[in-house]
Structures are given as structure tokens and as C-alpha cells.
């Protein structure tokens, strides 16, 4: 191998590659990069980085060579229903909200940005076709899936997966949605009908909305992609996603990609362990700045009581106060939410819901003991508060207290035993008993197994 690291043009080539792919991840991975470039130089019989830069930029084969590099530089780790809490939030909060708001056009546009080999868009198609068949009847649905890596896209279009990619999919999903031979699982063609795959570079300076300049999406997923990019590119990208969304459209990012600064033009909503973002229209955001705190973002609608009765009727007197607290939290204004919540609590110490919301606020403020203390207080006041048991389980699991976590998830199952599946759980913003039970079972197994 040619010694690339010592080549005076290496640094320029490296910076060019990072700039054109967005993959700042390689800024401190010189070993991997120099090994790859060394191999390409010897395969192409080129003598140094500067002739390789020229080859990439000028020759007819430059674009194809760039694809070879991209195939080696991108990391396509993905799986069906990865981060199940996010899929529960999509099913229970995001899609019902969109169905509600777009009744008249019945048009649903989703963008899976950085879709890798397709597990993400196919999971969405499976979720809608299997679990929301009645709701989507008559709807015009498009799932636009894009990625930088053409090999991944070709594999996605083919729809063949190894068993490992299906490790989080339920057995009946595997049975009903795939055929398989040996270790290869092929998705049934009916789940391809809404999806189109297209190559697109999210780091390109000229951002192209895959639907066209003026079109807008209802939901954008860009999960586990921005971890590889620089903070500057991410800021720009999130701004571009905001522009590409309908007013009140939704953005779902990877579970480690929450930097509150980046999402200040969105309302953030916490649902079953997932944080999701809803676009605040630019006009409203500007108004808010001028008139805070009177103008509030429009929250996701609660499910209609006729469809999903609550376990416990809300105490009307507290409703507006709690809604106010919730909206402060949704805007990510955790400090004000904390102050407001504590004022509410001073006047109503025995209200379990205030303790519960405060716990979520404390958690977002990065406090260590307070969230658990508030959740225990909520549960002391109401043993049947399923979502408080659930969040206590999540907190204990995060702390590595697995036995306690498993007990808390078990308590959720006890409390919800016998409650009809479609019932909305208290303080859950439309989360149904069945989805909370499923999530709790999953966490209970994980906690008990470790």
C-alpha cells in the first residue's frame, strides 16, 4: 500500500470527501480513511492523493469512483421497527394527527431520509397496511425513501433481507409480510406499492426536496444519519426539513440526535419513551417570539372520547393548568415548565398528574434523583397510574436497576389488565392501553433478561 498519511495532498482530499458526503465522522478516523484511499490508489494505479482528487473531479469515471467510495464510507446499520417506541409514537400520535388534519385532501406524504437498505420505509408501509388499514382506505399515500449509497438503494428496491435485519419484527409480521428461503427474507410486493427509492445527498449545498420545490411532507424520518454529520450540517438540514414540512407536520430523528437548540422551531412531544417534533409554522413562531407566552403551538389533537374513552375522567378544574404545563414542555421550555409545575403543585399537592408531568420536566432538565422521586409521589397518590409505572420502569432501566425496572413494567401490565385495548391511558396523549402493554412487555423482557 502507498503511504497515504504522509502525502501532502491527503488533508485536502480528506476535507473534500467530508464536505461532499457530510461524513464529518471521518474527521478523526485517519487510519480507516488512509487505508481505503491507499487501496483505491493501488487499484487505479494512481500515485498520490492529488491525482486521485483530479480523477474524482475530472475524469468520466469520477462519479462512479465517488460511488465506490460512498459504498465504503457509509454505514447502513438498520433493522425493521428499529426503536419500537418511535413506531408506537408514529402509530398512536403522528398518523392519527395527520389523518385528522388532512381529512379533506386524504393525501399523506412521508420522507425516509437516509433509508439505507429499506427497513425503515418498509416498516412504515407494514405498520400502515396491517394496523391502520381502515384509516387509510381511500388515502393517496407516498413514501419517498432516499439515500446517498446507490448499492443500499438497489438492495432496498429488491426487498431482500437477512434474518438479522428482521430481529425486532414480530413473528406474525415475518410470516405475513415476507417469504423466505434459508436466511433470506423477501418482502411481499404489496408493501412496495407506496414506496419510491431515489439517490439523494443530504449534505449537498443545494437541497432538493424530493417532492419538488413547493411540495410539503407530513412526516419526515431522518434517523441515525445526523450522528455522522457535523453540527453545522445538522443545523442546516433540520432547517431544511422544517421548510419541507407541512405546517404541523412531524419530524422523527434518531434517539441520540436530540439537541434542543436545533429544534427550536418545532414543538417537542414526548410519547412512550420517544421524543418527536412537530413543525410550528413560521408565522406562529414569529408571533410567539413577539407575544410570548400568550400564543401556544397547536397541540396534537386528543383522540375523540367516543373512540377512545379515558381510563379516568379528567378533573376539569385541573385540565387547563395541566395543558398549559404540557404545552410549555412541548415547546422545550423546560425551565418555565419546571417553575410553572411547581407553582401548580404548591396549590394542589395531591394531584398525581402534576407530579408525573414534573417528573418528565425534571428528566429533561437532566436532574438525577428528582424524576424518580416525582414518579414515586405520583404513584403513591394513584397506584393505578399506568404511565407513571412505565416511566419509573424506564428511569430504573436507564440506571441499570433491572429488577426494579422489571417490577415497574409488571405493574403496568397489572394495572392495564382487563382494560379494553383501545382505551387511552391517563396523561398519555392518545397512547392506547394495548400499545403501552406491548411496550411494557418488551421492556420487562429486556430488564428481566439482563
Residues that bind ligand SAM (CB under 6 A): 21-23, 74-78, 82, 114-116, 119-120, 147-149, 152, 201-203, 223-225, 228
Give the three cell numbers for residue 234.
Answer: 445538522
Query: Which is nearer to ligand SAM, 147 or 333 (by Cβ)?
Result: 147
Minimum distance, C-beta of residue 229 to ligand SAM, in the bound complex (Å) = 7
Minimum distance, C-beta of residue 189 to ligand SAM, in the bound complex (Å) = 22
In this structure, are strands 245-253 and 217-222 parallel, antiparallel, or unpaired?
A: parallel
Minimum distance, C-beta of residue 104 to ligand SAM, in the bound complex (Å) = 31
Query: Which is nearer to ligand SAM, 159 or 428 (by Cβ)?
Result: 159
In this structure, are strands 217-222 and 184-187 parallel, antiparallel, or unpaired?
A: unpaired
> How many whole angstroms separate alpha carbon 200 and alpha carbon 218?
19
Q: In degrees, to the nearest 5, what angle opens at C-alpha 222 toward C-alphas 215 and 395?
A: 135
Minimum distance, C-beta of residue 194 to ligand SAM, in the bound complex (Å) = 17
Minimum distance, C-beta of residue 113 to ligand SAM, in the bound complex (Å) = 7
> How many whole angstroms separate alpha carbon 213 and alpha carbon 124?
24
Three-state DSSP state, 371? helix
Query: Which is nearer to ligand SAM, 223 or 389 (by Cβ)?
Result: 223
Q: How many CB atoms lie within 10 A of CB 258?
A: 14
Query: Which is nearer to ligand SAM, 83 or 363 (by Cβ)?
Result: 83
List residues bridging with 186 in a β-sheet.
160, 179
Torsion 348-354-356-361 (CA) sign: negative
Minimum distance, C-beta of residue 389 to ligand SAM, in the bound complex (Å) = 29
Query: Which is nearer to ligand SAM, 124 or 361 (by Cβ)?
Result: 124
Query: Which is nearer to ligand SAM, 92 or 147 (by Cβ)?
Result: 147
List residues bridging with 14 in a β-sheet.
none
Minimum distance, C-beta of residue 174 to ligand SAM, in the bound complex (Å) = 18
Query: Which is nearer to ligand SAM, 49 or 148 (by Cβ)?
Result: 148
C-beta separation of 159 from 213 below 8 A: no
Any residues with CB less than 8 A from the CB of 280 and at least 6 apart, and which?
265, 266, 267, 288, 297
- For residue 40, the surrounding DSSP H or E stretch is helix 30-44
Amino acid at each position: 500500500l502507498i503511504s497515504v498519511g504522509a502525502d501532502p495532498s491527503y488533508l485536502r482530499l480528506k476535507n473534500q470527501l467530508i464536505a461532499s458526503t457530510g461524513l464529518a465522522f471521518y474527521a478523526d478516523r485517519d487510519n480507516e480513511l488512509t487505508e481505503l484511499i491507499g487501496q483505491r490508489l493501488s487499484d487505479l494505479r494512481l500515485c498520490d492523493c492529488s491525482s486521485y482528487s483530479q480523477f474524482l473531479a475530472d475524469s468520466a469515471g469520477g462519479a462512479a469512483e465517488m460511488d465506490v467510495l460512498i459504498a465504503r464510507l457509509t454505514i447502513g446499520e438498520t433493522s425493521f421497527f428499529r426503536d419500537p417506541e418511535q413506531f408506537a409514537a408514529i402509530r398512536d400520535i403522528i398518523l392519527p394527527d395527520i389523518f385528522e388534519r388532512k381529512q379533506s385532501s386524504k393525501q399523506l406524504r412521508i420522507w425516509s431520509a437516509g433509508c439505507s437498505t429499506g427497513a425503515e420505509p418498509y416498516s412504515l408501509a407494514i405498520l400502515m397496511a396491517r394496523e391502520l388499514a381502515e384509516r387509510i382506505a381511500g388515502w393517496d399515500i407516498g413514501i419517498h425513501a432516499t439515500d446517498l449509497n446507490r448499492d443500499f438503494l438497489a438492495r432496498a428496491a429488491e426487498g431482500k433481507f437477512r434474518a438479522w435485519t428482521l430481529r425486532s419484527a414480530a413473528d406474525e409480521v415475518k410470516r405475513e409480510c415476507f417469504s423466505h428461503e434459508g436466511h433470506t427474507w423477501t418482502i411481499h410486493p404489496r408493501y412496495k406499492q407506496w414506496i419510491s427509492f431515489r439517490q439523494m445527498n443530504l449534505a449537498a449545498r443545494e437541497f432538493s426536496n424530493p417532492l419538488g420545490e413547493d411540495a410539503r411532507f407530513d412526516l419526515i424520518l431522518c434517523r441515525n444519519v445526523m450522528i455522522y454529520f457535523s453540527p453545522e450540517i445538522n443545523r442546516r438540514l433540520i432547517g431544511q426539513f422544517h421548510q419541507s414540512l407541512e405546517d404541523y407536520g412531524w419530524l422523527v430523528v434518531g434517539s441520540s440526535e436530540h439537541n434542543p437548540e436545533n429544534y427550536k422551531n418545532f414543538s417537542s412531544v414526548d410519547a412512550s419513551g420517544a421524543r418527536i417534533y412537530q413543525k410550528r409554522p413560521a408565522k406562529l413562531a414569529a408571533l410567539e417570539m413577539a407575544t410570548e407566552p400568550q400564543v401556544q403551538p397547536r397541540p396534537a389533537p386528543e383522540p375523540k372520547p367516543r373512540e377512545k374513552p379515558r381510563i379516568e375522567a379528567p378533573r376539569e378544574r385541573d385540565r387547563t393548568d395541566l395543558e398549559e404545563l404540557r404545552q410549555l414542555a412541548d415547546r422545550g421550555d423546560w425551565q418555565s415548565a419546571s417553575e410553572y409545575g411547581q407553582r401548580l403543585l404548591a396549590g394542589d399537592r395531591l394531584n398525581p398528574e402534576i407530579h408525573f408531568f414534573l417528573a418528565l420536566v425534571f428528566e429533561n432538565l437532566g436532574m438525577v434523583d428528582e424524576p424518580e422521586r416525582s414518579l414515586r409521589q405520583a404513584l403513591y397518590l394513584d397506584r393505578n397510574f399506568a404511565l407513571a409505572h412505565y416511566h419509573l420502569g424506564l428511569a430504573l432501566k436507564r440506571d441499570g436497576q433491572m429488577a426494579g425496572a422489571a417490577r415497574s413494567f409488571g405493574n403496568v401490565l397489572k394495572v392495564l389488565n382487563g382494560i379494553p385495548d383501545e382505551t387511552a391511558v391517563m396523561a398519555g396523549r392518545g397512547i392506547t392501553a394495548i400499545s403501552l402493554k406491548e411496550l411494557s412487555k418488551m421492556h420487562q423482557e429486556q430488564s428481566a433478561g439482563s
